Amino acid sequence: MRSKTKHPCRENNMNEKTILQFERIFPGIWRARVCANTDTGGMGTSLTAFYKHEPRTEKLDSLPEAGFPFDGAPGGEAFCQSDGDAGTVICLPLRLSERLYGLGLNYQRLCVNYAARQLRCDHYGGQDNGRTHIPAPFYVSDRGYAVLIDTPEPVSFYMGSSVRRDAVNPPPEIHRFREKGWSAVTPAEYVEASFAAGGCDVYVFAASKDSKSPMRDAAARYNLWSGGGFIPPKWGLGMWQRVSGYADGEDVRAEAAAFEEHDMPLSVIGLEPGWQTAAYPSSLDWDEKHFPDHKSLMAELASKGIRLNLWENFFISEKSTLYDPVSPYCGSHKVWNGIVPDLGSPEAVEILSRHHKKLAAEGVSGFKVDECDGFDGWLWPDHASFPSGLRGITMRAIYGAVLQRMQDDAFRSLGRRTYGLVRASNAGAAHLPYVIYNDCYSFPQFLTGTASAAFCGALWVPEVRDASTPREWARRFALSALSPILMLNAWASGAKPWKFPEIEDTIRSILRFRQSIAPALYNAFRGWYEEGIPPFRPLCMDWAGGASEKGGELDDTENPYSLGELLDVTDEYLIGRDLLAAPVAPDSDTRRIILPPGEWYDFFTMERVENSFTREFALDEIPLYVRGGAVVPTLGEDGALVLRCCGREGEGIIYDDDGESFGYERGEYSLIKVIFADGRADYTVESHGYEPGYGDLRFVFSRD
């Protein structure tokens, strides 16, 4: 039963505005507690508390202080308001010139100014309308700050789209038919966020004043506060092949052998629902009939460097060994005929955790956590009840993230890193080693998702499933090769990478290219762990609001292209500090490339390129560019570490660790520090309880 705690806002006649009282909790991070005692189903008022790791305190404390972004805002201070039945409203000041990003995982546009969105956990239905795999109540401003409304309630956001009657600077009234300048949009001086019941914590994250990439740095503080990011195991950066749902143990052996025959690298085989004794609902138990020797199968695969990943959903079948133990801790409704564990109940989480620890100890490397994202008939209804007191609607907001946390903890207890797939997550989950995927298959949306996931501290995977032409096949592989996981998900198609014999060589070279850039990707993840910088992110995250804008105005006089255009780019993205990817569309041989201010080099030819150009790309050409002054670590075919030095001079730090354990969190890693000028490089190696695992070192220099 939910207790009836008094709503302090109402006590204070909260139709009145109550100024939010922010306290500094870390340099550049503030929190205001709103109606903190209000009950939201017995679990408190924080969404992230359900699954968040501890903030990276040491890191955060070492960051420079930052100015509070709402000081001196023209419209006044941040405030909250409650008008009884309408719930709680949080109003956050907004300047007219600001550009806002975020509000969950989006696939079409990046900027969310003037959007009105009701954020709900859902599979993506083809529109950026708030129903999203990551309904994170979080946004970032190009003024260099970010805001999180930390509540498990679904939040509605009005991103400067609703003008209040008491506005200090209301937009002018303009006669639509007689005057110039009328617009259907009337910009407001607040972002307003509302939710039905209870309190929340409002967090503000700011970049330091001299930041050149204020959006990125504000988002980085949010990620560090979330306890993230993470560094995946090295095997996770190889090729993943998900086999058909009908596959049995022998098919899996045959699949591994076929990759060898075709001389294609393979790192992970993913089993789809068919590995279990029951599917839809699931048993999460091995089907001994079709996988009679799953332990030796996994050992055989491991001896070839191949890991096994298992598909799951958490609607538990009566046939499952989990059914009896977990049954007392399940909700009021079934999904696909299975009972639904109450993830607000420590007992249910413990039962699931023990089961996963067993699967992991037998050799499983990770899981694909499916179908935790539906908002419709494929999930329980909003009004479903759970023994812990959580309501169905809250359960939906936390389900994917709590499952990730449960599994990550199980692997942690074995001292092994995992890397998995999931269809739902939420704010503050940057520490959880998972990537989001779904059932859509639009190439441009997959591409934009790869970049935009950074605005919720998450990763998105543009998987390959099928293609109708060789060109489409190659282009999709190229995009996937430049993403957090290179994966062919053949659960329905049964396709293999060599599906089109005429381009088998091309696909092989893309897979090998992926192997060769693994050290660069690994270093991008290190930046996420150490500094909170999203490893895959849109161009605007680094360039909006920074040094290349003058006085808040976009400056397009110094560059041969418009920076304004650069900020809206949705089909290119940054990888780590120094790489920029611009995948080519499946129906095209040419594309336009826009590169940010400064020097850029072609990754392959090492030649300097213009900042804006259009050209043709052969199927095995992957548009990838390197920032001038950078050192990019790659793996040579002979196992040597090839350091690609771009520009006349520069420097770089190459990180390495054992790639499997949590030694890196205890400070066990190595750094190679490189400095180069005029075609010569010097380096030093620093080992912190770990010797660099690469073979010889080789330098390659750009040609200017």
Q: How far is the CB of 272 from ligand GAL (least distance, A)?
A: 5
Q: How far is the CB of 375 from ligand GAL (least distance, A)?
A: 14
How many residues does the structure list for the chain? 704
Q: Which residue has the tokens 């789209």?
A: 161
Strand blocks (E) in 227-266? 239-242
For 60, the 3-state DSSP assignment is helix
What is the rounded distance in angstroms from the CA atom of residue 149 to the CA atom of residue 46? 9
Q: How far is the CB of 291 from ligand GAL (least distance, A)?
A: 17
Contact between 656 and ligand GAL per CB under 6 A: no
- Minimal CA–CA distance to 100: which of 114, 116, 80, 82? 114
For 577, the 3-state DSSP assignment is coil
What is the rounded distance in angstroms from the CA atom of residue 228 to the CA atom of residue 45? 22
What is the rounded distance in angstroms from the CA atom of residue 609 to the CA atom of residue 602? 6
User: Which 486-505 residues touch ligand GAL, going by CB under 6 A?
Assistant: 489, 491
Question: Measured from the CB atom, is 345 or 489 closer to ligand GAL?
Answer: 489
Contact between 312 and ligand GAL per CB under 6 A: no
Binding mask 261-280 for ligand GAL (x = CB under 6 A): -----------xx-------
Determine contact, residues 246/287, Cβ cutoff 8 Å: no
Strand blocks (E) in 287-419? 307-312, 330-335, 338-341, 364-369
Q: How far is the CB of 378 from ligand GAL (least distance, A)?
A: 9
Q: How far is the CB of 271 from ligand GAL (least distance, A)?
A: 10
Other Cβ atoms closer than 10 A to 281: 23
For 6, the 3-state DSSP assignment is coil
What is the rounded distance in angstroms from the CA atom of residue 34 to the CA atom of residue 201? 6
Q: What's the DSSP call for residue 396?
A: H
Contact between 542 and ligand GAL per CB under 6 A: no
Count residues binding ligand GAL (CB under 6 A).
9
* Stretch (H or E) spanning 360: helix 346-362
Question: Measured from the CB atom, is 491 or 525 closer to ligand GAL?
Answer: 491
Question: Measured from the CB atom, is 243 or 567 closer to ligand GAL?
Answer: 243
Question: Measured from the CB atom, is 272 or 542 closer to ligand GAL?
Answer: 272
What is the rounded distance in angstroms from the CA atom of residue 204 to the CA atom of residue 146? 6
Q: How far is the CB of 463 from ligand GAL (least distance, A)?
A: 8
User: Which 132-191 residues touch ligand GAL, going by CB under 6 A?
Assistant: none
Contact between 371 and ligand GAL per CB under 6 A: yes
Closest CB to ligand GAL: residue number: 491
Binding mask 315-354 for ligand GAL (x = CB under 6 A): ----------------------------------------
Structure tokens at 39: 């009950």
Question: Measured from the CB atom, is 379 or 575 closer to ligand GAL?
Answer: 379
Q: How far is the CB of 437 from ligand GAL (least distance, A)?
A: 7
Question: What's the Cα-to-Cα distance from 548 to each of 99, 240, 271, 570, 593, rounded to whole Å?
Answer: 16, 40, 48, 20, 19
Question: Measured from the CB atom, is 371 or 571 closer to ligand GAL?
Answer: 371
Q: How far is the CB of 299 from ligand GAL (least distance, A)?
A: 25
Radius of gyration (C-alpha) of the chain in whole angstroms: 25
Angle between helices 214-225 and 518-531 (to 10 degrees): 80
Binding mask 214-253 for ligand GAL (x = CB under 6 A): -------------------------------x--------
Contact between 535 and ligand GAL per CB under 6 A: no
Question: Measured from the CB atom, is 370 or 656 closer to ligand GAL?
Answer: 370
What is the rounded distance in angstroms from the CA atom of residue 432 to the CA atom of residue 97? 35
Contact between 659 and ligand GAL per CB under 6 A: no
Question: Measured from the CB atom, is 310 or 533 closer to ligand GAL?
Answer: 310
Determine contact, residues 425/50, Cβ cutoff 8 Å: no
Question: Measured from the CB atom, is 200 or 271 closer to ligand GAL?
Answer: 271
Contact between 658 and ligand GAL per CB under 6 A: no
User: Which 557-586 residues touch ligand GAL, going by CB under 6 A?
Assistant: none
Q: How far is the CB of 273 from ligand GAL (least distance, A)?
A: 5
Question: Measured from the CB atom, is 245 or 636 closer to ligand GAL?
Answer: 245
CA angle 164, 166, 169 (to 5 degrees): 85
Cα atoms in the 13 Å half-sphere on the side-chain side of 673: 4
Contact between 65 and ligand GAL per CB under 6 A: no
Binding mask 419-458 for ligand GAL (x = CB under 6 A): --------------------x-------------------
What is the rounded distance in angstroms from the CA atom of residue 52 to the CA atom of residue 267? 29
Q: How far is the CB of 211 from ligand GAL (least distance, A)?
A: 39
Q: How far is the CB of 255 from ligand GAL (least distance, A)?
A: 16
- Minimal CA–CA distance to 491: which of 469, 471, 466, 460? 466
Question: Measured from the CB atom, is 368 or 627 closer to ligand GAL?
Answer: 368
Q: How far is the CB of 371 from ligand GAL (least distance, A)?
A: 5
What is the rounded distance in angstroms from the CA atom of residue 676 to the CA atom of residue 650? 5
Q: How far is the CB of 456 from ligand GAL (least distance, A)?
A: 20
- CA dihedral (496, 500, 502, 503) in degrees, to 10, reads -60
Other Cβ atoms closer than 10 A to 356: 25
Contact between 367 and ligand GAL per CB under 6 A: no
Question: Measured from the CB atom, is 138 or 240 closer to ligand GAL?
Answer: 240
Question: Measured from the CB atom, is 263 or 439 closer to ligand GAL?
Answer: 439
Preceding peptide of 229 cis, ω within 30°: yes
What is the rounded distance in angstroms from the CA atom of residue 458 to the CA atom of residue 219? 11
Question: Measured from the CB atom, is 380 or 617 closer to ligand GAL?
Answer: 380
Question: Measured from the CB atom, is 245 or 387 closer to ligand GAL?
Answer: 245
Question: What's the Cα-to-Cα distance from 620 to each of 480, 507, 560, rounded to whole Å?
Answer: 13, 8, 29
Q: How far is the CB of 442 from ligand GAL (least distance, A)?
A: 15
- Minimal CA–CA distance to 31: which of 186, 168, 174, 147? 147
Q: Looking at 79, 205, 311, 323, which residue binds ligand GAL (CB under 6 A)? A: 311
Contact between 596 and ligand GAL per CB under 6 A: no
Determine contact, residues 53/354, Cβ cutoff 8 Å: no
Contact between 45 and ligand GAL per CB under 6 A: no
Interface positions with ligand GAL (CB under 6 A) = 245, 272-273, 311, 370-371, 439, 489, 491
